[in-house]
């Protein structure tokens, strides 16, 4: 992978966007459908949930804008388009069920946004971009699942909407290691920065002293 990174860098990829001055936190799809192992969409994300809890606690201490996402579909799945044809397991994401609720370990507060989406990106067909813009946000710290799906799509769209996309490595997960690592590499090469949990927490500490 180091040889691939060096090749990319020689071609002008994998520069750093860096942290801005007005961050927000995005928690993508850490809902029961992806964390409860009885669900066909789920995988063991206990470590990623715990790391995200640390980031969430710190973001709350600094009164930063925080948004969660969930995915839910009406009965009949008319709002699922061709997505559900590609991934029939999405049928567990029925509106009004516990599967579409945020995992209890990360329960949103009343003041925090819970955005309902139908597809991979947290931006597609939602108010996320306008909400962040209205709050003056320039940096979006991204946590959640899955790395190769909704995390990647949201990081790409964050870049395209003019935000610095910062994916926290320990706070994102996938159901298989290969797509997880490949997509972290690709995000870091093209769309945003992949940082460690320690780097993210240090960024928050620096905000407190500015």
130: phi then psi, degrees, rounded to nearest 5:
-65, -35
Active-site position among 145, 150, 159, 171: 150
Contact by Cβ (8 Å): 64, 27: no
Burial of 112 (0-12, 13-18, 19+ CB in 10 A): middle
One DSSP character per residue, the chain reads -HHHHHHHHHTT--------SSEEEEEE--BHHHH-TTSTT----HHHHHHHHHHHHHHHHTT--EEEEEE-B-TT-GGGTTHHHH-GGGGG-BTTSGGGSBPGGGPPPTTSEEEEESSS-SSTTSSHHHHHHHTT--EEEEEEE-IIIIIHHHHHHHHHTT-EEEEEEEEEE-SSHHHHHHHHHHHHHHTSEEE-HHHHHHHHHHHHH-
Strand partners, 165: 140
- Whether 171 is a known active-site residue: answer no
Report, as residue numbers or ranges, the catalytic residues. Answer: 150
């Amino acid at each position: 992978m180091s040889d691939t990174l060096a090749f990319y860098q020689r071609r002008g990829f994998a520069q750093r966007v860096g942290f801005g001055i007005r961050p927000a936190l995005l928690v993508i799809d850490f809902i029961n459908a992806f964390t409860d192992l009885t669900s066909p969409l789920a995988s063991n994300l206990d470590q990623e949930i715990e790391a995200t809890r640390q980031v969430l606690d710190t973001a709350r201490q600094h009164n930063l804008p925080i948004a969660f996402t969930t995915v839910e579909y009406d009965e009949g799945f008319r709002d699922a388009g061709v997505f559900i044809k590609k991934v029939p397991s999405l049928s567990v994401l029925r509106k009004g069920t516990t599967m579409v609720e945020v995992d209890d370990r990360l329960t949103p507060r009343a003041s925090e946004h819970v955005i309902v989406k139908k597809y991979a990106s947290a931006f597609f067909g939602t108010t996320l971009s306008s909400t962040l813009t209205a709050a003056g946000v320039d940096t979006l710290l991204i946590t959640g699942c899955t790395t190769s799906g909704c995390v990647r799509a949201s990081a790409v769209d964050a870049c395209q909407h003019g935000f610095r996309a910062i994916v926290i490595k320990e706070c994102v997960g996938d159901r298989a290691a290969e797509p997880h690592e490949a997509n972290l590499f690709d995000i870091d090469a093209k769309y945003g920065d992949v940082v460690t949990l320690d780097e993210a927490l240090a960024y928050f500490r620096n905000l407190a002293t500015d």
